[in-house]
């Protein structure tokens, strides 16, 4: 059992061990998450007060902090209770006033004896045209003026904690910091000119000029790297552990894959072939695969998945493909079953909807290996679902599944290879932070012949025109989606809005041509509505975001999104990805409720101007922040205190490579640098990593 290194003990002591911190103050600190001396080290100053002595308040532009030497003049005590006590002072060029509220006359007389010289420091302001300092921070005899720090760090505060308390506490915490062994590769240290850890924290708290506060300042950058590296090392440990869990060697013979490819009306793209190659190489290795397949909507991930699943079957095992919704699972079934059948492979579906008899039959066939490929929903996670020899689990549209479920699925086989597919192009920085434990294949090439989708912004005031246009398009035999707005958190409200819209559109376009799907509909009705739309019986499908992910109806060429300004960019991109899949030129109408704010307008313009999912996700990240881009299910985001996840992507990449290399060279972290890395993991409180290194 690994335990916290002794060198860190002083930093993990009670906060009350620090100078000036009693139990009450400790409670105040806890409000900003500061519970141990260690925590204080990573609360860096956000700005800097220059208290270097200057000649006169006339030399600065108030309001600002100054330090000047003055001769004390007249005292003017508060004549009326509640009015301030004023002391006139004279610096090298001008006279100004020191102002005190609720002043103690005797104390002031002692501090500022008339006719004597003092150094005062504080914020000078103009009041009625006269310069004044209210409650100076320092009033000292000239001989004692050295006690004024010439550069004073300014910290983020909370109620009950003053700058002085904070500064004192930090200084005290710094005395507990030891010179820790170096965990960063020497070459990186040299390349970036980074100081050692102790020097970095010391300097981080002692900025001397504004540029010392910049993200790129060497001490800060090093501390940021430490945070990022600790996180990447955690991910790398998780990855190593997964890979080490003895993988099953699955080698295909291409027979089934070739049969399927021969039956397709198109050729796979280069990116599809490359990804299949990467996947089958992983499957053939004795390590466990943990791979992410990233590909924009319409890039053809399903085919890649099928070829990988067929490899599992060729290798004598089974494969499973998980979809986030019933609709998608059915769609996969419909797309894949004919291809599988044609190749002589048994492919079945398992969802929560199977009746008990049917379900029992399927479970038996799975356990005996008669079902070779299973397509399913969450229902597959259930305990009684047992495979004969599961080799590969494909998880489609992963952002709907949590990381834990990914792991659960992995437990269904001896050492199931895992392929996660996502259509949400995640900005590189976030991908590194959240998927650093995976290897990544990218489908960066779309199947040929796709027409661009014409995206138009339209005010909801033109609702009637839009409906009239739809009527014409439908008469021409085209099909369309109509996505209803997100009306808050409740599905019920969303559903009510969809039903309401369904009624209006049906009245306008005709009873038979309009269908409806939303999450609250009984599943049989949902299927029926989808089926009617796929078959072209209904021409317009009114829907909530249930159609967001993966739905593929090539004949649909119009997408109307109501209150588009309420959606995230990535979500709009997903929705728009439902059209532009067939031979017809497609249109996407982004309907908004005016007046549109500037930010909202900018977002919708991004949608209008590009169809590149990566560009859109980068923009989404800039406009909304990481949490929103990834959504709730994906909250595997680290919370960095110093590093900036969104802009320090380069450091993340460096850290990822370095962490993987370190583990490759020293898998148990027992070498010199490995031991140092352990100290880092404890320092950064990487609980998960610590558990991983503890179990060995
Ligand atoms: P996504 O990556 O969004 O899941 P799909 O796998 O649903 O994309 O594929 C979108 C459409 O493109 C499907 O109709 C599929 O049959 C088709 N498709 C896939 N690969 C190719 C290809 N190489 N050439 C032409 N069409 C393809
Ligand atoms: Mg898909």
Give the model's pLDDT for residue 27: 92
Least confident of 5-14, 88-97, 203-212, 411-420: 411-420
Every domain of the chain with CATH number 2.40.50.140 lies at 52-148
pLDDT at 160 over 60: yes
CATH superfamily placement of domain 453-610: P-loop containing nucleotide triphosphate hydrolases (3.40.50.300)
Average pLDDT over residues 504-525: 88
CATH number for the domain running over 255-443: 3.40.50.300
Ligand 2: distance of its center to the CA of 310 in Å? 17
Give the model's pLDDT for residue 79: 73
Share of the chain above pLDDT 90, in %: 56
Average pLDDT over residues 219-226: 97
Nearest of 77, 98, 100, 101 to residue 88 by alpha carbon: 98
Ligand 1, atom 24, lies closest to the CA of 447
- In CATH terms, the fold of domain 52-148 is OB fold (Dihydrolipoamide Acetyltransferase, E2P) (2.40.50)
Q: Is 398 in contact with 421 (CB distance < 8 Å)?
A: yes
Ligand 1, atom 5, lies closest to the CA of 300
Ligand 2: distance of its center to the CA of 246 in Å? 30
Ligand 1: distance of its center to the CA of 263 in Å? 15
Ligand 1 pocket test, pick from 275, 303, 332, 453 with the greatest ligand atom count within 8 Å of Cβ, gives: 303
Give the model's pLDDT for residue 555: 85
pLDDT at 609 over 90: yes
Give the model's pLDDT for residue 317: 95
Residue-wise pLDDT tens digits, 336-379: 999 999 999 999 999 988 888 999 999 999 999 999 999 998 88
Q: 254 to each of 80, 315, 393, 503, how far by Cα in Å?
A: 96, 10, 19, 51
pLDDT at 21 over 50: yes
pLDDT at 290 over 50: yes
- Nearest atom of ligand 1 to the alpha carbon of 264: 16
Residue-wise pLDDT tens digits, 529-573: 888 998 899 999 998 876 655 577 888 999 999 999 988 888 888
- Nearest atom of ligand 1 to the alpha carbon of 268: 23
Least confident of 60-64, 103-107, 243-247, 617-621: 243-247
Ligand 2: distance of its center to the CA of 59 in Å? 66
- Note the ligand closest to the C-alpha atom of 297: 1
d(CA 521, CA 325): 13
- Note the ligand closest to the C-alpha atom of 449: 1
Ligand 1 pocket test, pick from 302, 549, 556 with the greatest ligand atom count within 8 Å of Cβ, gives: 302
Least confident of 31-35, 467-471, 577-581: 577-581
Ligand 1: distance of its center to the CA of 269 in Å? 10
Ligand 1: distance of its center to the CA of 127 in Å? 71
- Three-state SS annotation for 315-339: CCCEEEEECCCHHHHHHHHHHHHHH
Confidence grade of residue 475 (pLDDT, cut at 50, 70, 90): very high
Ligand 1, atom 13, lies closest to the CA of 300
Give the model's pLDDT for residue 519: 76
Average pLDDT over residues 56-84: 90
Ligand 1: distance of its center to the CA of 635 in Å? 29
Sign of CA dihedral 352, 353, 354, 356: positive
Residue-wise pLDDT tens digits, 375-418: 998 888 888 899 999 999 999 866 555 555 666 666 676 678 98
User: In 3-state terms, what secondary structure has residue 696?
Assistant: coil
Ligand 1, atom 26, lies closest to the CA of 447
- Note the ligand closest to the C-alpha atom of 270: 1
Confidence grade of residue 1 (pLDDT, cut at 50, 70, 90): very low
Give the model's pLDDT for residue 277: 96
- Nearest atom of ligand 1 to the alpha carbon of 301: 2
Residues with beta carbon < 5 A to ion ligand 2? 550
Residue 621 host element (H or E): helix 613-624
pLDDT at 491 over 70: no
Residue-wise pLDDT tens digits, 618-668: 888 777 766 666 654 445 667 788 998 878 888 999 999 999 999 999 999
d(CA 126, CA 600): 41
Every domain of the chain with CATH number 3.40.50.300 lies at 255-443, 453-610
Least confident of 153-157, 425-429, 457-461: 425-429
Ligand 2: distance of its center to the CA of 419 in Å? 13
Share of the chain above pLDDT 70, in %: 92
Give the model's pLDDT for residue 188: 95
- Nearest atom of ligand 1 to the alpha carbon of 297: 3
Q: 547 to each of 198, 326, 335, 354, how far by Cα in Å?
A: 53, 11, 17, 22
* More reliable by pLDDT, 684 or 518: 684
- Nearest atom of ligand 1 to the alpha carbon of 396: 4
Q: 505 to each of 220, 394, 465, 471, 658, how far by Cα in Å?
A: 58, 38, 13, 10, 57
pLDDT at 108 over 50: yes
d(CA 560, CA 571): 14
User: In 3-state terms, what secondary structure has residue 190?
Assistant: helix
Query: With 0-12 CB in 10 A as exposed, 13-18 as middle and 19+ as buried, what is 93?
Result: exposed
Ligand 1: distance of its center to the CA of 337 in Å? 16
Give the model's pLDDT for residue 648: 85
Ligand 1, atom 17, lies closest to the CA of 300
- Nearest atom of ligand 1 to the alpha carbon of 443: 2
pLDDT at 82 over 70: yes
Average pLDDT over residues 140-156: 89
Give the model's pLDDT for residue 548: 57
Residues having CB within 6 Å of any atom of ligand 1 = 266, 268-269, 272, 295, 297-303, 423, 447, 550, 552, 554, 581
Q: What angle do CA 656, 662, 663 make, to 5 degrees?
A: 95
Ligand 1: distance of its center to the CA of 581 in Å? 8
Give the model's pLDDT for residue 174: 96
pLDDT at 142 over 70: yes
Residue-wise pLDDT tens digits, 416-445: 898 989 877 777 777 777 777 788 898 988
Could you tell me which residues are beta bridge partners of residue 516?
Answer: 542
Q: Is 585 in contact with 456 (CB distance < 8 Å)?
A: no
User: In 3-state terms, what secondary structure has residue 348?
Assistant: strand
d(CA 358, CA 356): 5
Average pLDDT over residues 669-674: 94
Give the model's pLDDT for residue 72: 96
Give the model's pLDDT for residue 403: 55
Give the model's pLDDT for residue 553: 83
């Amino acid at each position: 059992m690994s335990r916290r290194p002794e060198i860190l003990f002083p930093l993990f002591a009670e906060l009350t061990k620090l100078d000036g911190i009693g139990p009450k103050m400790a409670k105040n600190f806890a409000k900003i998450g500061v519970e141990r001396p260690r925590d204080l080290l990573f609360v860096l100053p956000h700005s800097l007060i220059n208290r270097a002595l200057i000649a006169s308040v006339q030399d600065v532009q108030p309001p600002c902090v100054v330090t000047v030497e003055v001769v004390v003049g007249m005292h003017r005590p508060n004549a009326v209770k509640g009015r301030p006590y004023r002391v006139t002072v004279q610096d090298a060029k001008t006279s100004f006033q020191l102002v005190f509220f609720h002043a103690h006359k005797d104390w002031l007389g002692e501090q500022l004896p008339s006719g004597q010289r003092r150094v005062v420091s504080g914020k000078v302001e103009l009041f009625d045209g006269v310069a004044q300092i209210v409650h100076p921070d320092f009033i000292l005899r000239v001989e004692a003026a050295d006690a004024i720090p010439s550069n004073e760090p300014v910290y983020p505060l909370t109620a009950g904690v003053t700058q002085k308390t904070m500064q004192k506490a930090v200084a005290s915490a710094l005395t507990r910091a030891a010179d820790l062994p170096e965990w960063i590769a020497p070459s990186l240290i040299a390349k970036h000119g980074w100081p050692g850890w102790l020097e970095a924290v010391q300097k981080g708290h002692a900025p001397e000029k504004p540029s010392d506060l910049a993200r790129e300042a060497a001490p800060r950058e090093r501390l940021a790297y430490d945070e990022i590296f600790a996180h990447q090392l955690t991910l790398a440990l998780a990855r190593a552990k997964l890979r080490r869990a003895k993988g099953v060697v699955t080698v295909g013979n291409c027979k089934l894959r070739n049969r399927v490819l021969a039956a397709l009306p198109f050729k796979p793209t280069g990116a599809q072939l490359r990804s299949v190659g990467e996947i089958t190489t992983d499957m053939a290795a004795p390590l466990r695969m943990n791979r992410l397949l990233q590909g924009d909507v319409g890039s053809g991930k399903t085919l890649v998945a099928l070829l990988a699943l067929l490899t599992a079957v060729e290798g004598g095992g089974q494969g499973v493909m998980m979809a986030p919704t019933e609709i998608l699972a059915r769609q996969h079934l419909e797309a894949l079953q004919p291809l599988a059948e044609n190749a002589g492979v048994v492919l079945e579906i398992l969802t929560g909807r199977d009746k008990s008899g049917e379900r029992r039959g399927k479970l038996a066939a799975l356990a005996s290996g008669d079902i070779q490929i299973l397509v399913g929903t969450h229902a597959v996670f259930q305990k009684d679902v047992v495979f004969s020899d599961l080799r590969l689990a494909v998880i489609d549209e992963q952002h709907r599944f949590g990381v834990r479920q990914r792991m659960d699925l992995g437990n269904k086989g001896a050492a199931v290879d895992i392929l996660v597919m996502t259509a949400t192009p995640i900005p590189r920085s976030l991908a590194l932070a959240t998927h650093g434990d995976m290897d990544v294949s990218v489908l960066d090439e779309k199947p040929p012949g796709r027409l661009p989708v014409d995206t138009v912004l339209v005010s909801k005031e033109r609702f009637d025109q839009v409906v009239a246009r739809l009527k014409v398009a439908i008469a021409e035999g085209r099909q369309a989606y109509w996505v209803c707005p997100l009306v808050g958190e409740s599905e019920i409200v969303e559903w009510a809005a969809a039903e309401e819209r369904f009624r209006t559109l049906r009245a306008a376009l005709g009873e038979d041509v309009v269908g409806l799907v939303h999450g609250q509909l009984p599943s049989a009705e949902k299927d029926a509505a989808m089926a009617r739309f796929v078959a072209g019986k209904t021409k317009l499908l009114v829907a909530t975001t249930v159609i967001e992910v993966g739905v593929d109806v090539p004949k649909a060429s119009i997408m109307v999104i109501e209150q588009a300004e309420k959606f995230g960019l990535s979500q709009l991109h997903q929705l728009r990805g439902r059209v532009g899949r067939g031979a017809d030129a497609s249109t996407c109408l982004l309907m908004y409720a005016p007046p549109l704010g500037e930010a909202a307008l900018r977002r919708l313009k991004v949608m209008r101007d590009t169809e590149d999912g990566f560009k859109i996700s980068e923009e989404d990240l800039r406009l909304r922040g990481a949490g929103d881009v990834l959504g709730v299910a994906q909250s595997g985001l680290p919370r960095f205190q110093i590093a900036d996840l969104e802009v320090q992507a380069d450091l993340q990449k460096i850290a990822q490579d370095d962490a993987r290399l370190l583990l490759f060279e020293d898998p148990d972290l027992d070498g010199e640098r490995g031991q140092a890395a352990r100290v880092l993991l404890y320092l950064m409180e990487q609980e998960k990593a610590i558990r991983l290194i503890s179990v060995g």
